[in-house]
Amino acid sequence: MSAPSLKGQPWLESTASKAVMAALETAGGPDCARYVGGCVRNALLGATVDDVDIATQLEPQQVLAALKSAKIRAVPTGIEHGTITAIVNSLPFEITSLRRDVETDGRRAVVAFTRDWFEDAARRDFRLNALYANSRGELFDPTGYGLEDADQRRIVFVGEPEQRIREDYLRILRFYRFWAWYGRGAVDAEGHAACRKLADGVATLSAERVSKEFLKLLAAPDPVAAVDAMDEAGVLRVILPRLDRTSFAAMVAITPDPILRLLALLPLSAEGLAEEAKRLRLSNAQRDRMKDSAVMLDADMSAPQARAMIWKDGLSAFVDRTYRTEATGIAPQNMQALRQMALNWTVPSMPVGGRDLAQAGFKPGPMTGKVLKAFEKSWVADDFPSDGVEARLQAAIAQVSLSENG
């Protein structure tokens, strides 16, 4: 294919991008720095560009000096591996010196800096990610296949797949993740075979790296084919030993939420979910969400029962439960109706409080709490009526007083 140009891309033409590239080129000469990776790939694929990364022939200390001279804020985010982050107009630009691997162990690498663009490209994961563009938007394809892969939407390892994987086993998950997001057609056979052969290497990675990468994969518009391929290669069971795919395809069809899609690959029990969340080292918020969603809803749940559950456990937990129940095939139409009701319902506030009891002659203390709980129980059971508040409060007072007086 003829080499396109990225000229006109908003991120490339922005004042911030131009300022960073000008600072580097002033120090190192024309084309000493090039955009690389996701921004180039996504621009070619017509996808959103979220981050702008730059590769440069300058070494880290030279990058720091260049940014300082241009009065651009520099943060040494990964200086031991050659990475400096430049901040312009609150926008980050990750700048990394060209590198070649000296030593790798499947999780981290010892690198040496180089000025050779081909050496830098040779250590990258996929040919599609080894594309560079200079400040004018002119493209550079060191592997000779990156542009063609972009045109055909192929995800192919740079060089020998097994070697790339042994350098960092996370590349197994990235292979399937990029195919889920950007691939078209069948998975690359050679890469897939290498992932199958080296699948156990994923177990050597930190749980945090694995779960973060896997959730990115599950967020793809339709990750079913990628998950199928991971399962066939034996990769999926390394990540999820308790794998249960029964409701996964159905969950993908009804929600793009990666956490809910992950839930559809896990056991239904609360205990099983808690163990998996711990093993995957999910965040506290993600862990709590998984725990809250463990409840399966009754097929014939009514709207009043649903509102009572929302009052008790919260809207988010209830909505997650409707998705999980629907994905298992239980009363899908009712689950959809309940979910829509929940999203449209404004949860009311308790119509009485301690001040109302104080006006009724109650002093703050245990009796106050008991009366409010009695009122709340009755009010929720009757589906949150807005009228009859005074009568309900008197009934609660009478009930608690009777109980207290034996």
Q: How confident is the model at residue 105 (pLDDT cuts 50, 70, 90)?
A: low
φ and ψ at 37, to 5 degrees? 75, -130
Nearest CA to 247 out of 327, 325, 321 is that of: 327
Task: Say what the pTM is.
Answer: 0.89
Range from 117-121, 152-156, 236-240, 289-293 carrying the lowest mean pLDDT:
289-293
Token couple for 128: 């599609």
- Looking at residue 353, its pLDDT comes to 87
Architecture of domain 1-152: 2-Layer Sandwich (3.30)
The predicted structure's pLDDT at residue 367: 81
Measured distance CA(295)–CA(6) in Å, rounded: 50
Residue 354: closest CA among 378, 376, 377, 372: 372
Q: Band of the pLDDT at 108, cuts 50, 70, 90? A: low
Domain with CATH 3.30.460.10 in the chain: 1-152
pLDDT band at 405 (very low <50, low <70, confident <90, very high): low
Cβ count within 10 A of residue 138: 15
| pLDDT category of residue 271 using cuts at 50, 70 and 90 | confident
Cβ distance 173 to 214 under 8 Å? yes
Q: Tell me which residue of 304, 314, 378 sits closest to 341, measured CA to CA.
A: 304
Contacts of 25 (CB under 8 A, 6+ apart): 31, 32, 33, 135
pLDDT in tens, 167-211: 999 999 999 999 999 999 999 999 999 999 999 999 999 999 999
pLDDT tens for each residue of 309-357: 999 999 999 999 999 999 999 999 999 999 999 999 999 999 998 888 7
Query: Would you tell me how many other CB atoms lie within 10 Å of the CB of residue 152?
Result: 14
Beta strand 52-56 with 91-97: parallel, antiparallel or unpaired? parallel
pLDDT score of 111 more than 60: yes
Task: Indicate whether 152 pLDDT > 90.
Answer: yes
Q: What is the pLDDT of residues 41-72, one digit of tens each?
A: 999 999 999 999 999 999 999 999 999 999 99
Average model confidence (pLDDT) across the chain: 92
Q: Which residue has the tokens 């109980």?
A: 403
Q: How confident is the model at residue 306 (pLDDT cuts 50, 70, 90)?
A: very high
Rg (CA), the chain: 28
pLDDT band at 85 (very low <50, low <70, confident <90, very high): very high
Average pLDDT estimate for 87-105: 87
